[in-house]
Amino acid sequence: MQLISCPWCGPREEVEFSYGGQAHVPYPEDPAALDDEQWAHYVFFRDNTKGRFAERWCHSAGCRRWFNAVRDTATYRFEAVYRPDEPRPVTT
Amino acid sequence: MSPRPPGADLPEHPDLLWRDVEPKASYDVVVVGGGGHGLATAHYLAKNHGITNVAVLEKGWLGGGNMARNTTLIRSNYLWDESAAIYEHALTLWEGLEEDLGYPILFSQRGVLNLAHTLQDVRDSVRRVEANKLNGIDAEWLEPDEVAKVCPIVNTSADIRYPVMGATYQPRAGIAKHDYVAWGLARRADQAGIDLIQDCEVTGFTTSGDRVTGVRTTRGTIATGKVALCAAGHTSVLTDMLGFRVPLQSHPLQALVSELLEPVHPTIVMSNAVHVYVSQAHKGELVMGAGVDSYNGYGQRGAFHVIERQMAAAVELFPVFARAHLLRTWGGIVDVSPDASPVVGRTPYENVYLNCGWGTGGFKATPGIGWCLADTIANDEPHPYVAPFALDRFVTGALVDEHGAAAVAH
Ligand SMILES: Cc1cc2nc3c(=O)[nH]c(=O)nc-3n(C[C@H](O)[C@H](O)[C@H](O)COP(=O)(O)OP(=O)(O)OC[C@H]3O[C@@H](n4cnc5c(N)ncnc54)[C@H](O)[C@@H]3O)c2cc1C
Ligand SMILES: [Zn+2]
């Protein structure tokens, strides 16, 4: 089990968190303009990156707030955690 | 008498099961991925269609991916017609695979119980039994006392947290020795003249318009007429190189085995609600699995708390396991689709065929998908059993949705 740093609460055990998939997927600006294919991509298609991936986590058994993280999906290492209103940090 | 050297009494090293070849400059068909699906596709390309100018490219060793890591449960008691058709086709092929390959695969039809723990579970299960029967698949509903007859070590007392309220039973379900399946398929494909090339990672593609003309690999570029993607959890890495998207998420899935025990567990037991599944391997280990780890991952390992939960479930259902020692755990990477069903068939490239999204349940499909994918490649037309699993179902909305029968949450 690894420690995950909630931006509000600090490091807590992994079991306190739940996973929310890819981050920065905006709701379509003009939903009525989307065709079926574009809707399918919004609803079903997400990146499945091997390597650094920006994703959402919720500190469900703590402050219950959502936040974003950049995590390496090959090593599972968290490289950065940040609040939803912050831009994706540059990780090297 | 002079002392015999150590090892002198050991049997001869067996003949190699397949040739170790250098890749040729070009093939009619390149199969990416030397797991069960890739090898079965190669086997049926040769056997059913006489297509043998084929290479199977494997970045590691044959059968070393999910094929080597799965818990080998084989069943066809799926709810929907589309899934029932392909998994039952596979089960029928499993029943004759040993003779077909001329190789032992230790296929053991010991049946599967899928336990129900709530009234809703009971209703869903009875519905699935009836759906199975309509599809000609063997299925029965068992009351708790009948469950205890099939598998006496299941705790069927009424006073546990999730009492067993009955189970579906498919007597023809079973297990097989996964390594032997891979080796048997590889040996037959090799005998037919197909090149099985290990240590050969596909790192890119050469294209011309909407056709792929070759694959770039760690052992050079190989020209090809057709490409079949059989890379399971790594499919997205390949489709990213090709520039099209498939709605897959790769997750770690773990399994584990106990020490060797006397034969105590005569069948397979699965439980959705308390979330564990168990069978006893031929040698005697209890083989157990559960659901995927929640996050995306390619690391071929998962988190320990998932194992802890699964062990708690196992001990509640099988009190006799409380003192068993856990011997080893491992993880594979499975590709999960939004409707828990595979994605098979055409791609935006005219000569590239997709086979992925089998998630936590593709081992049982091995001969069935090999058969159908070979047919699809040979005829340039999706085989009727795979047609419902086309990529465009996410646009048309004709989803298959087999969460209902998956028997593990994912
Ligand atoms: C722990 C666990 C338990 C499971 N239990 C069951 C079960 O009980 N019953 C069941 O039906 N299913 C089960 N499954 C699922 C099943 O193992 C998979 O659905 C199935 O093995 C997928 O098909 P495959 O055998 O071809 O995949 P794999 O064996 O993973 O084959 C894919 C191959 O592609 C290779 N590859 C990937 N990228 C490249 C590249 N770029 N170049 C060359 N080669 C590449 C990989 O190295 C790999 O060998 C389980 C899976 C796991 C992990
Ligand atoms: Zn918090």
Mutate to test the interface with B, among A12, A34, A50 (most CBs of B within 10 A): A50
Q: What is the pLDDT of residues A55-90, one digit of tens each?
A: 999 999 999 999 999 999 999 999 999 999 999 998
Cβ atoms B106, B314 nearer than 8 A: no
Give the single-character DSSP code of B118: S
pLDDT tens digits, one per residue of B273-312: 888 899 999 999 999 998 899 999 999 999 999 999 999 9
Give the other-Cβ count within 10 Å of B185's Cβ: 35
Dist. CA B225–CA A48, nearest whole Å? 28
Near ion ligand 2, which residues have CB within 5 Å?
A: A 6, 8-9, 59, 62-63
Q: How far apart are the first and last CA of chain A?
A: 24
User: What pLDDT does B26 receive?
Assistant: 98
Of A41, A44, A50, the CB nearest to B298: A50
Between CA B312 and CA B310 the distance in angstroms is 5
Give the pLDDT of residue A92: 73
Q: Scan for tokens 């590239």, then name that residue.
A: B352
In angstroms, rounded to a whole number, what is the distance separating the alpha carbons of residues A28 and A33? 9
pLDDT given at position B14: 65
CA-CA distances (angstroms) from residue B358 to A47, B30, B75, B189, B369?
18, 20, 14, 23, 10
Cβ distance of B304 and A74 shorter than 8 Å: no
User: CB distance A76–B297 less than 8 Å?
Assistant: yes
Nearest to A73 among B297, B335, B395 (CB): B297
Q: Is the beta carbon of B42 within 6 A of some atom in ligand 1? A: no
Nearest to A48 among B236, B396, B397 (CB): B236
**Distances from the Cα of B60 to the Cα of B32, B198, B359, B405, angstroms:** 12, 6, 20, 32
Predicted pLDDT of residue B198: 98
Interface list for chain B against chain A, based on CB atoms closer than 8 Å? 234, 236-237, 240, 245-250, 294-299, 303-305, 335, 338, 394-397
Q: What is the C-alpha to C-alpha distance for residues A64 and B83, in angstroms, rounded to an integer? A: 38
Q: What is the mean pLDDT, run by run of 10 residues, along chain B of 410 residues?
A: 69 79 97 98 98 98 97 96 97 98 96 96 96 98 98 94 95 97 97 98 98 98 98 98 98 96 96 89 93 94 92 93 94 96 98 97 98 98 98 95 65
Q: Distance of alpha carbon B96 from its chain centroid, rounded?
A: 18
Please say whether the beta carbons of B389 and B347 come within 8 A. Answer: no
Query: Which residue's entry shows tokens 């080796």?
Result: B183
Q: Report residue B323 as tokens.
A: 């003192």
B346/B350 Cα distance (integer angstroms)? 7
A75 CA: distance to closest CA in chain B (Å):
6
pLDDT of residue B401: 87
For residue A56, the CA-to-ligand 1 centroid distance in Å is 27
Q: With both helix axes pointing from N to C terminus, report the angle between B81-101 and B366-379 in degrees, rounded to the nearest 10.
A: 100
pLDDT at B276: 87
Q: How far out from the chain centre does Cα B320 lie?
A: 29
Quote the tokens at residue B368. 């069935």
Phi, psi of B166 (to 5 degrees): 140, -175
Helices B81-101 + B178-191 axis angle, to 10 = 70
pLDDT at position B275: 83
Strands B195-197 and B54-57: parallel
- What letter would DSSP give residue B145? H
Please tell me the distance from the alpha carbon of residue B324 to that of residue B115, in angstroms, as a whole number: 22
Q: How confident is the model at residue A19 (pLDDT cuts 50, 70, 90)?
A: very high
Q: What residue owns the CA closest to ligand 1's atom 4?
A: B70
B169, B115 Cβ separation under 8 angstroms: no
* Ligand 1 pocket check for B78: Cβ under 6 Å: no
Residue of A nearest to B293 (CA): A19
Query: Closest Cα to residue B252, out of B229, B270, B232, B271?
Result: B232
The reply to whether ligand 1 has any atom less than 6 angstroms from the CB of B58 is yes
- SS3 at position B95: helix
Let me know: does B187 contact B98? Beta carbons within 8 Å: no
